[in-house]
Structure 1
């Protein structure tokens, strides 16, 4: 489909609105000027596609003051900066079939920030309070609590991800994925600079900029990677065995050659059971660790768990997290648990310590590979020789 730009579009006015939006909020300037403005009678106000093309109604432009036009441009570019279309693509199939509700939830995520920034949005704008919902949440949280709505403003595929008939085909004169990511990072950096120099930034934008500049990596992914890598390292040593003769034996009459084997390592999990540790967090972390170990074939009598505060209270062989016996509840000294693990008759090659970090540590690297899984909001760092995975409290 080809969209002809109506002659009636007051391009000077819409460009003046963009100039005002960029001047009043300079941290949005790069994103605002990256949008391609396209006039069309097929949208009631404005909408964007996922290629950063902004479709504008000439009638809306003619009847709306420049400050309000500037606010709507900021609203539309907010969909693109917050990558709403990509996030919408990750929704369950049932939610993707209702782009109207998705758009409403996305508008709720955006508009509470814009109103707190005193932007003059036009009448009829949607805010969380319209549905009895609190401000400051993400659209994925709002979506299940918004009732089905037959008609609502359509911000286009740049918001809910579903292509509309009034959008141009292809990506001509548009912004690609890599350029879009670069614009988001540039905008986040500008927001941080603005906040340092001028002080105020809406809460939603502040959180968004922090996430762009300091993306949160799922602790489960990091922990799983560390455990797998440590197990692979510990199992890297090979040995000879006659239980499975070498395939070359058949070529040598009367001679039996051994084959190489890669032994599975033994793993010790030292669990901090001092009073400051939460059982739910410990249980979640234990489940992740035992799940990864099971995937790589380390299970049963090859995994030992030591419950420890200032002393070792329980030692158990486990197959699942439910079998762990947590004792203690007093002071904290993980050195005792680590040394007890190393002193066992079957010395572990990998030691994983689950702790809040408020513990003394060994002064020198242990002979075993050691992973410190730190649970808490701001745990102190372990020694540099320990591999560290940080697990936030109350993690999902």
Structure 2
């Protein structure tokens, strides 16, 4: 910090730098403007926490040019988008890494992952930004890979000042406001920010560095058996006999030749219509609702990417408004009460045109229809590991029925379903 500096934060300069960052990296704009700024004289430069607060040193802003501040903005939000705090915690558990020294290594490795291709093309490289070449390491690798390739020693002595905050390495800092502090984003809000940025990146692949394309395509949507199973279950239901079939006279049946004077219609396969019923009851967490929106997008891909054929129906004890799928992140998931997805089934089956497949995303704490619906059904179950006595929002003795045998069930977040 600047000795004797007592001034307040130059917000105008800081926000001018953020605007510049958004102009040169438009696909990151949603994330940049989601960060809440917290002035702090305990922060060496700029740092983030997992709840999307950005702690800023007034002295650092004063001495840093706007163009370099823009690069710092992008660098810090990159830690959050790439979930470096969560990944650091997982690596620490898996490899038995403890202590501030190991967390410093994680911060350095996370910086290597970001900085190898983030600067240039209108974004200035901030003074002191560390890159893999500093330790003779290759570019284009992930934080977890870099961690295996270096330790703390003489070559890293000049990096002890590095501190991007708990949002970079998962270790709480003295300046953190914590999960209950003001202006933090909820888990669902954080997922929605990542969702929008990922879609912005995949929509302009020619203008995005390889590291960001990899994040949008793989890191944000990691290959998981349950997601593949859910997509396969939807495709299987959509391709079943009788689904998506209709008669047309545009191409007469070949059997017309055997009926002189009559033209018989042929059977035509059309893309299937899918209605996704999302459980929005009080027992479903914000994080699970955010995950449900991601599944809606995966479901639309499973039926060929025709978003006009996918509708979404939020439901707790009563069915809400049916939404057409334009952008999944814009669908309001209203609810929060008890659970009775039978109303969702009834509402979906009344829709015109009627769906060929109903997909239900739920924690399973609901009564089910007594009879099999007139279309195929796939159930995605959010995991639950708690005593049966705590299953119901209102009745402590209630134990929910398992999904019916006529539904194809996939356990979300675990192994194969049934």
| Structure 1 equivalent of residue 91 of structure 2 | 91
Q: Using the alignment, how far apart are the partners of 1:134 and 1:203 within structure 2?
A: 14
Offset at residue 200 of structure 1 (A): 1.9
| Structure 2 equivalent of residue 184 of structure 1 | 194
Q: 1:76 to 1:213 in 2, by over 3 A?
A: closer
Cα shift readout 1:334-369 (whole Å, capped 9, x = no counterpart): xxxxxxxxxxxxxxxxxxxxxxxxxxxxxxxxxxxx
Cα shift readout 1:210-264 (whole Å, capped 9, x = no counterpart): 1267531259996xx99xxxxxxxxxxxxxxxxxxxxxxxxxxxxxxxxxxxxxx
User: Are 1:158 and 2:167 matched, yes or no?
Assistant: yes
User: Are 1:105 and 2:105 matched, yes or no?
Assistant: no
Residue 100 of structure 1 aligns to a residue in which SS?
Answer: helix
| Structure 2 equivalent of residue 346 of structure 1 | none
Q: 1:64 to 1:144 in 2, by over 3 A?
A: same
Cα shift readout 1:103-130 (whole Å, capped 9, x = no counterpart): 0000000001213656312222111111
| Structure 1 equivalent of residue 32 of structure 2 | 32
| Structure 1 equivalent of residue 297 of structure 2 | none
Cα shift readout 1:173-220 (whole Å, capped 9, x = no counterpart): 01122211111110010112233xxx2210000111112675312599
State whether residues 48 and 157 of structure 1, in contact with CA within 8 Å, keep that contact through their aligned partners in structure 2: yes
Q: Using the alignment, how far apart are the partners of 2:19 and 2:120 within structure 1?
A: 21
State whether residues 68 and 127 of structure 2, in contact with CA within 8 Å, keep that contact through their aligned partners in structure 1: no
| Structure 2 equivalent of residue 140 of structure 1 | 144
Matched length? 217
Q: Using the alignment, how far apart are the partners of 1:58 and 1:91 within structure 2?
A: 33
Q: Using the alignment, how far apart are the partners of 1:60 and 1:85 within structure 2?
A: 23
Q: Using the alignment, how far apart are the partners of 1:117 and 1:102 within structure 2?
A: 27
| Structure 2 equivalent of residue 210 of structure 1 | 217
Q: Which has the larger radius of gyration?
A: 1
User: Is the deviation greater in 211-220 or in 125-134?
Assistant: 211-220
Q: Using the alignment, how far apart are the partners of 1:60 and 1:204 within structure 2?
A: 28
Residue 91 of structure 2 aligns to a residue in which SS?
Answer: coil
Q: 1:220 to 1:184 in 2, by over 3 A?
A: closer
| Structure 2 equivalent of residue 314 of structure 1 | none
Map residues 236-275 of structure 1 onto 2, 5 A cutoff: none
Q: Using the alignment, how far apart are the partners of 1:213 and 1:153 within structure 2?
A: 26
Q: 1:43 to 1:189 in 2, by over 3 A?
A: same
Offset at residue 76 of structure 1 (A): 0.1
| Structure 2 equivalent of residue 23 of structure 1 | 23
User: Are 1:114 and 2:118 matched, yes or no?
Assistant: yes
Residue 37 of structure 1 aligns to a residue in which SS?
Answer: strand
Q: 1:141 to 1:116 in 2, by over 3 A?
A: farther
Map residues 212-231 of structure 1 onto 2, 5 A cutoff: 214-218=221-225
Q: 1:121 to 1:95 in 2, by over 3 A?
A: farther
Q: 1:7 to 1:173 in 2, by over 3 A?
A: farther
Q: 1:220 to 1:158 in 2, by over 3 A?
A: closer
| Structure 1 equivalent of residue 204 of structure 2 | 194
| Structure 1 equivalent of residue 344 of structure 2 | none
Q: Using the alignment, how far apart are the partners of 1:55 and 1:35 within structure 2?
A: 10
Residue 153 of structure 1 aligns to a residue in which SS?
Answer: coil
Offset at residue 40 of structure 1 (A): 1.1
Q: Using the alignment, how far apart are the partners of 2:187 and 2:89 within structure 1?
A: 14
| Structure 2 equivalent of residue 237 of structure 1 | none
| Structure 2 equivalent of residue 47 of structure 1 | 47
Offset at residue 66 of structure 1 (A): 0.7
Q: Using the alignment, how far apart are the partners of 1:7 and 1:118 within structure 2?
A: 30
State whether residues 9 and 61 of structure 2, in contact with CA within 8 Å, keep that contact through their aligned partners in structure 1: yes
